[in-house]
Homo-oligomer: A and B are copies of this chain.
Amino acid sequence: VQPSVDQVKLGNRRAIARLMTQVENDEAAAHEAIASLHSATGRAHIIGVTGPPGSGKSTLVNEIAKRMRQLHLTVGIVAIDPSSPFTGGALLGDRIRMRDLSGDDGIFIRSMASRGRLGGLARMTGSVVKILDAAGYNTILIETVGAGQAEVDIASAAHTTLVIETPGMGDEIQTIKAGILEIADILVVNKVDRPGSDRTVKALRAMLHMGLAPKPTGHHGVDTNMDTKERTNVKAQTTWEVAVLETIALEGKGIDTTVDAILAHETYLRESGEWLLREISRSRLEVDQLLQAQFISQLQATVPESEFKRLIVEVAKREIDPYSAVNQLYRQMQM
């Protein structure tokens, strides 16, 4: 049965869950439903939360969600879990989370396992976020493990990105290597009760200072069609300074300040005109992902699997070079 789009828009939890499952199992089938939800989206504030394993992301996300509920905001949580097949990490993390937040109708939680899904994951995440947005959730938190490009991409699909670090995650060079600082709108040093936290906070502030040029607007080189007049009419704060916040998520410390910063960033985005730029950037990512998916479908439809495999084996045996193999496949697709 096709999950009812109208029911999703009304916030029916079962319809939401059913459509999400369909997206995970067969995005193509859910295609039409997702397409027709698009016009009902664009209201939610989408927040990416990223950081290395062990930085306390899940705990922090839970605490942020609880605080937002106190402020009467409804919250969707999408947890991207690069779980091992051995132990079902996604389920495990979910249980812990559920124990904490379950029973509140203003919260909807969805865990997604990233294993073996490659490019498809970002696309599925986008669809799940779209469903939550159309269902009327005010805030959507996307939780991912940082460091990888795929995770950075998912975070790029957010309006506001929180990057979490912890004290003593290695020397400074290693911290730099994490290399996701440049995507942060808000930096959170969690577990500041650990030794070395002052050094980490100072190092991060110093690094931000070194790169203090204002964040480029319109990521991915897409211009907005706002004209200069519109821009100058904006009275609000026009630059955003990345703050370094300190939390102990397990004890609920620093959460109010973090949520205040998130809401301040939302206000900044909306009043400065940056919101539209980020929406354009998000749309660009979405269209790129869909284009790739369509290309793969076409490949599968026009080149028989057996022939594809035969070519791959020839490349492996050095009977043909990969560039010639690709040209051959490509010509076949054009017919």
Instruction: List residues of A whose CB falls within 8 A of some B CB.
Output: 31, 34-36, 38-39, 41-42, 52-54, 81-87, 89, 92-93, 96, 114-115, 118, 121, 145-153, 169-171, 173-182, 207, 210-211, 222-225, 276, 279-280, 282-284, 286-287, 290-292, 294-295, 299, 309, 311-313, 315-318, 321-326, 329-330
**Contact, CB under 8 Å: A178 / B82:** yes
**Contact, CB under 8 Å: A53 / B145:** no
Q: Which residue of B lies closest to A207 (CB)?
A: B86
Q: With A96-B173, A145-B148 given, can you name 20 additional A-B contacts, CB distance below 8 Å?
A: A35-B322, A36-B321, A38-B318, A39-B318, A41-B318, A42-B318, A81-B179, A82-B180, A86-B210, A86-B211, A87-B210, A89-B176, A92-B173, A118-B153, A121-B149, A145-B147, A148-B148, A149-B149, A280-B316, A283-B322
**Contact, CB under 8 Å: A54 / B330:** no
Q: List 10 A-B contacts (CB under 8 A).
A: A35-B321, A35-B322, A39-B321, A53-B147, A82-B178, A82-B179, A222-B309, A287-B325, A291-B329, A294-B330
**Contact, CB under 8 Å: B313 / A287:** no
Task: Given A147-B145, A178-B82, decide whether A316 and B283 contact each other with a Cβ distance below 8 A.
Answer: yes
Residues of B within 8 Å of A173, CB to CB, are 89, 92-93, 96
